[in-house]
Amino acid sequence: MAIEYLGLSSINGPLVILEGVQDAFFDEIVEFVVDGNTRKMGRIVELYEDKAVIQVFEGTENMSLVNTHTKLSGHPMEVAVSPEMLGRTFNGIGQPIDGLGPVNTEYRKNVNGLPLNPVKREYPRNYINTGISAIDGLTTLIRGQKLPIFSGNGLPHDQLAAQIVKQASLGGDSDEDFAIVFGAMGVKHDVAEFFQKTFDESGVADHVCMFLNLANDPVVERLITPRVALTVAEYLAFEQNMHILVILTDMTSFAEALREVSSSKGEIPSRKGYPGYLYSELATIYERAGIIEEANGSVTQLPILTMPNDDITHPIPDLTGYITEGQIVLDRSLYGQSIYPPISILPSLSRLMKDGIGEGYTREDHQDLANQLFSSYAKVGEARNLASVIGEDELSPIDKKYLEFGKEFENRYIGQGPAENRTVIETLDLGWELLRLLPKEELDRIDTKIIDKYYKE
């Protein structure tokens, strides 16, 4: 049934309309041949009897109403999956671009995936030691979690992600099958290169599968890139029993691409011009993380998104925060003070932390200690506000202590070297050391017994 359709009835941005099609189905992949030589791919996004609205992944450049041949592929968007994909580099729709030829497998999977049945999920409980105090101590990353980094342009989110990859992969779990799936949507060449270099240097390059849709690559392709990356991740995790860390950068470009396509379809916009289904679209990506009962592997997601104008209430970070299990927020003023990693801890959060720490996982005092550090650091902010009005000299002695605690906390606890790898016990002990700058009465979040045990050491 390889009917070829000649010509198109309209072209509008990344969308083309084809009439007179027979037997097409919703979400089907079509192949175009332009001018007899250029090949392109597209996906049916709307269907009315014999009229199909098709989204062209590579963009509609050079296509005209007469020079295009269209063929229905008879299947939805699929990607070939194989363990051999580790160590390889692909474009945004899963075609190899490293010159090593096609992936040698017949096994293909639908990139849209299917929702995981909650009864078959296993609740994530094992923490990943990243060696970064602000994360291990306060926003612990759990295997199977989705924990995005909310960043801004010019902040060191890439370095942070690279450090996490390096230190987490070389941690105590290195004997287990560990691999990284890297999906880049609309990032700059330098960023892709930076990651490639980091993976090479840390000796994990043959455990990395990269999907690159760079800033000058077609916009529509970006809508597929995270799905392709996650399909491969799910395959490696649930069929090959590997522990997969998925890095997706930059989710903002993904959402922008969605808006672009939505507006050329003439859809009714909701907030800031984004389509009403932005939440559902983001959810179908982020929810593809976790652990299932019948496999030993796991998918952990570390998406990176740059907040437009550093605004955390912008729809993209906002909706992301409602889906993901916490967030790590980077802060420009900390970065301005040369504190690396500039993690703003108050808005940062790991929802799964509470079940993966404490006795049997890290140490019994972890939760109380973290609560106290959060609470005390929140008071530092109040003391600073007051100092900016009445001057530091006029502060009460206790407020002065808070200022000192705040400074030490930012420099020594949050701040650490880009190659510094701290154990979780070091992080916890450092937390107590800093709390000792404050009088015991101020520690109101900690069980009395735990204070007695750790405060006086």
Partner 1 sequence: MNNSGTIYGINGPVIYLKGETALKMSEMVHVGDEKLVGEVISLDSQTTTIQVYEETGGLRPGETVESTGAAVSVTLAPGILNNIFDGIERPLEMIAQEGGAFISRGVSVDSLDKTRKWETHLTVKVGDRLTPGTIIAEVPETRAILHKCMVPPDVYGQVVSVVPDGEYTIDETLVVIELRDGSKKELTMTQQWPIRVPRPVHHRYSASVPLVTGQRIIDTMFPIAKGGTAAIPGGFGTGKTMTQHQIAKWSDADIIVYIGCGERGNEMTQVLEEFGELEDPKTGNPLMDRTVLIANTSNMPVAAREASIYTGLTLAEYYRDMGYDVAIMADSTSRWAEALRELSGRLEEMPAEEGFPAYLASRLSAFYERAGMMQTLNGATGSVSIIGAVSPQGGDFSEPVTQNTKRFVRCFWGLDKSLAYARHFPAINWLTSYSEYVGDLSGWFTDNVSPKFVDYRNRLMTLLNQESSLMEIVKLIGGDVLPDDQKLTLEIAKVIRLGFLQQNAFHKDDTCVSLEKQFRMMDVILYLYKVSRKLIAMGMPMSVLKSEGIFERVIAIKYDVPNDNLQLLDMYKKDIDDFYNNVIAKNA
Among 4, 9, 20, 26, binds partner 1 (CB under 8 A): 26
Among 20, 61, 98, 121, binds partner 1 (CB under 8 A): 121
Please list, in sequence order, all residues whose beta carbon lies within 8 angstroms of the beta carbon of residue 325, skipping any fewer than 6 positions away. Answer: 142, 145, 146, 147, 350, 351, 352
Decide whether 106 or 294 has the Cβ nearer to partner 1. Answer: 294
Q: What is the closest distance, in whole angstroms, from the C-beta atom of residue 284 to partner 1 in the complex?
A: 5
Q: How far apart are the first and last CA of the chain?
A: 78
Decide whether 364 or 420 has the Cβ nearer to partner 1. Answer: 364
Q: How far is 87 from 34, CA to CA, in rounded Å? A: 33
Decide whether 107 or 123 has the Cβ nearer to partner 1. Answer: 123
Q: What is the closest distance, in whole angstroms, from the C-beta atom of residue 48 to partner 1 in the complex?
A: 4
Q: Are 264 and 12 in contact (CB under 8 A)?
A: yes
Q: What is the closest distance, in whole angstroms, from the C-beta atom of residue 277 to partner 1 in the complex?
A: 5
Please list, in sequence order, all residues whose beta carbon lies within 8 angstroms of the beta carbon of residue 209, skipping any fewer than 6 positions away. Answer: 85, 86, 87, 88, 90, 179, 180, 181, 182, 229, 232, 236
Q: Is 107 in the site for partner 1 (CB under 8 A)?
A: no
DSSP character string of 212-254: EEETTS-TTHHHHHHHHHHHHHHIIIIIS--EEEEEEE-HHHH
Decide whether 98 or 122 has the Cβ nearer to partner 1. Answer: 122
Structure tokens at 45: 């996004």
Q: Is 288 in the site for partner 1 (CB under 8 A)?
A: yes
Please give the residues from 148 up to 207 whose contact with partner 1 meets the rule CB under 8 A: none
Q: How far is 9 from 306, CA to CA, in rounded Å? A: 38
Q: Is 318 in the site for partner 1 (CB under 8 A)?
A: yes
Q: Which of left, alpha, beta for 209 (phi over 0: left; psi -120 to 50: alpha)?
A: beta
Name the pairing type of β-strands 15-19 and 10-12.
antiparallel
Decide whether 400 or 412 has the Cβ nearer to partner 1. Answer: 400
Q: Is 395 in the site for partner 1 (CB under 8 A)?
A: yes
Q: Is 452 in the site for partner 1 (CB under 8 A)?
A: no
The closest of 376, 449, 365 to 413, measured between CA atoms, is 376
Number of residues engaging partner 1 in binding (CB under 8 A): 86
Q: Is 294 in the site for partner 1 (CB under 8 A)?
A: yes
Beta bridge partners of 300: 245
Please give the residues from 353 up to 372 whose contact with partner 1 meets the rule CB under 8 A: 354-355, 367, 370-371
Q: Helices 278-286 and 315-323, interaxial angle, to 10°? A: 50
Among 84, 267, 359, 433, binds partner 1 (CB under 8 A): 267
Structure tokens at 327: 């967030």
Residues 395, 396, 397: CA angle, nearest 5 degrees: 115
Q: What is the closest distance, in whole angstroms, from the C-beta atom of residue 358 to partner 1 in the complex?
A: 9
Q: What is the closest distance, in whole angstroms, from the C-beta atom of residue 114 to partner 1 in the complex?
A: 4
Q: Is 118 in the site for partner 1 (CB under 8 A)?
A: yes
Torsion angle defined by CA atoms of residues 105, 32, 44 and 72, in that order, rounded to the nearest 10 degrees = -70
Q: Which window, 45-53, 57-65, 186-194, 211-219, contacts partner 1 (CB under 8 A)?
A: 45-53
Among 3, 65, 97, 390, binds partner 1 (CB under 8 A): 390
Q: Which window, 12-20, 212-220, 348-356, 417-425, contacts partner 1 (CB under 8 A)?
A: 348-356
Decide whether 4 or 394 has the Cβ nearer to partner 1. Answer: 394
Among 36, 39, 49, 99, binds partner 1 (CB under 8 A): 49
Please list, in sequence order, all residues whose beta carbon lies within 8 angstroms of the beta carbon of residue 157, skipping any fewer than 6 positions away. Answer: 149, 151, 249, 304, 306, 330
Decide whether 176 or 447 has the Cβ nearer to partner 1. Answer: 447
